[in-house]
Structure 1
Amino acid sequence: MRISARADYAVRASLELAARTSCDGEPVKAEVLSDAQDIPHKFLEGILGDLRRGGIVASRRGGNGGYLLARPADAITVADVVRAVEGPIVSVRGERPSALAYTGPAEPLLPLWVALRANVRKILEGVTLDDIARDRLPAPVRELADDPAAWRNP
């Protein structure tokens, strides 16, 4: 599974909003987000549009305009952000695993893809922007990340 630059940037921009809007509630300009997280500005504008359409961020126009989280950071999961910019969390050839069918020796592959999808969803749906912004990852996620083998490529 690959996390695209688009998904990574979306999560980082959302985290920047979580950190900044929790302080004063003022909208944050895209340029500020872009500079703070080293995200190409034009690319970020498209991402912010997807996040707005996905109900993750709200935008305000005008001189004091910018972007805010559309709901509290503890009510937005990483899965919500990724889905807003990428669609389904795990797909195989662009299709949801439940839409696939295999035959013969490949038949057991379907439950493998479904299990992978379930585990990725379990992690991403179990971590909110607030968890990350406050450096309070849930214990199961910390335990997985604390395993030295998780940091090495086989």
Structure 2
Amino acid sequence: MTSTGPAAYSPLVIDHVKNPRNIGEMDHPDGVGRVGNPVCGDVMELYIRVKDRIITDASFKTFGCGAAIATSSMVTEMVKGKTVDEALEISNKAVAEALGGLPPVKMHCSLLAEEALKKAVENYYERRGEKPPFETAVKEHHH
């Protein structure tokens, strides 16, 4: 991983790659989001634990590049303490900004993190037999 040039990673991205937060599968999660990008081969699984509609814990398993790991790690930090509905407001741009920016060629990794989070919240609602308060179809992103 380089820290110079057009594909440079911020020090925070490198830190999240070397020391990912909340890594690993969660036992008995309240919601699971699984997404993959067939173009780059990245696969992301995000797990959330929810109490009284507040996300109390989050973890992830990601098979992919450094940016995919960093964005997964950061999104699990960002959602803790938020309500499930507030979690839906977290955008890929917010994840990238929280990491000090991503190289343009790696922005699709932050989209995966956003989509995995939305799917985990959607799964939480499904497990409770409730309808999510949002459009369940993840929007198609054109790169």
TM-score normalized by the length of structure 2: 0.29
Larger radius of gyration: 1
TM-score normalized by the length of structure 1: 0.28
Between Structure 1 and Structure 2, which shows a larger proportion of strand residues? 2
Between Structure 1 and Structure 2, which shows a larger proportion of helix residues? 1
Q: Which has the higher contact order (CA 8 A, sep 6+)?
A: 2
